[in-house]
Amino acid sequence: MIVHPKPKLSDILFSLKGSIAKRIALRSLMVTALASLIVLIEVLYPALFSRVNATPFTLLGISLSIFMSFRNNACYGRWWEGRQAWGKVMIEMRSFARASIAITEPAKREAMLRELCGYAHALNARLRGENEQHAASPWVSNIPGIYGQNISDGILRNISRQCSELAESNAISDWRYITLEKCLYGLSEAQATCERIKGTPLPFPYTLLLHRTIYIFCLLLPFAMAEPLGWLAPVFTTIVSYTFFGLDAIGDELEDPFGRDENDLPTDAFVRTIERDLLDALGHTDLPAPLAPVDYVLN
């Protein structure tokens, strides 16, 4: 995620971090080159462009802008829902740590909170398609198969089993057991929300239609602008293509908010915050440092 102070004029004009410009530079340059070629042809053979009218492009541009706004709103909604889900993970982690004070065995409480740290790492890896077991291994039991194929959910099951055993042995009250189980349920709910976002992309025909329409519009636009604008046509074509290609690329990034793109959610930073909170709840003082933005990018 881009963490940038309020941009100054120089930042607006020249900043590349988070501007999506690098991803769409080649496409925009290709459209600019095409526009320059079309203007040159118009200068040499003006009769070929005598019947070209800009009205259809105006109508198509307005329709395309509305269509893109709907898609980008849907993609931003997924990004924001993912952020809310990770916020819920952090809330439930802190609530569990606070409620677990009733566990009188320090070793058992520490093991459970460390497993929750492993859960955060495993969930982060799961959403990125990485190795959950490897991500969680520094924090959880190394007994093979104890967590099953879904490591993050298996960690919650194992913690739930331990809470149940504590309640059965009267080590914690029934009310405290219900409170701890409620926190685990909240974590499971947040995980399901993230998995739904990750596993349900926007309908492919919807995205494909938008991609094709943008390319068609940007490639045909110079034909309408060559005659009235002359050599200014490549400039305005570049601006239009930068806007449409950029909005399209931003939508692609936000559609899956759990990856490693510059504008994705900083889930590594969320996991580090959880680590610090849980270790602090255990009384540790050698806490890992919070993650800071590197060149305005917070992972």
Q: Which domain holds residue 275?
A: 9-281
267 in any annotated domain:
yes
288 in any annotated domain:
no
For residue 298, what pLDDT is reported? 66
Average pLDDT on 47-63 reads 72
Residues 253, 1: contact at Cβ < 8 Å? no
For residue 13, what pLDDT is reported? 52
- Is residue 3 over pLDDT 70? no
Q: Which of 75-89, 236-250, 254-268 has the highest mean pLDDT?
A: 75-89
Residues 221, 237: contact at Cβ < 8 Å? yes
What's the Cα-to-Cα distance from 86 to each of 46, 241, 293, rounded to whole Å? Answer: 59, 35, 19
64 in any annotated domain:
yes
DSSP 109: H
Backbone angles phi and psi of 139, in degrees to 5 = -115, -15
Please provide the average confidence, as pLDDT, over all residues in the chain: 84
56 in any annotated domain:
yes
Q: Which of 13-17, 56-60, 145-149, 178-182 has the lowest mean pLDDT?
A: 13-17
291 in any annotated domain:
no
Compute the half-sphere exposure of residue 24: CA atoms within 13 Å on the CB side of its CA: 28
Please tell me the pTM assigned to this model.
Answer: 0.84
- Is residue 6 over pLDDT 70? no
For residue 122, what pLDDT is reported? 94
For residue 274, what pLDDT is reported? 94
- Please report which confidence band the pLDDT of residue 246 belongs to, taking 50, 70 and 90 as the band edges: confident
- Is residue 88 over pLDDT 70? yes
Residue pLDDT, tens place only, 155-201: 999 999 999 999 898 888 889 999 999 999 999 999 999 999 999 88
292 in any annotated domain:
no
- Please report which confidence band the pLDDT of residue 93 belongs to, taking 50, 70 and 90 as the band edges: very high
For residue 45, what pLDDT is reported? 78
Of the candidates 233, 208, 205, the residue with the CA atom closest to the CA atom of residue 218: 233
289 in any annotated domain:
no
Q: Is 268 helix (H, G, I), strand (E, B) or coil?
A: helix
The tally of domains found in the chain comes to 1
202 in any annotated domain:
yes
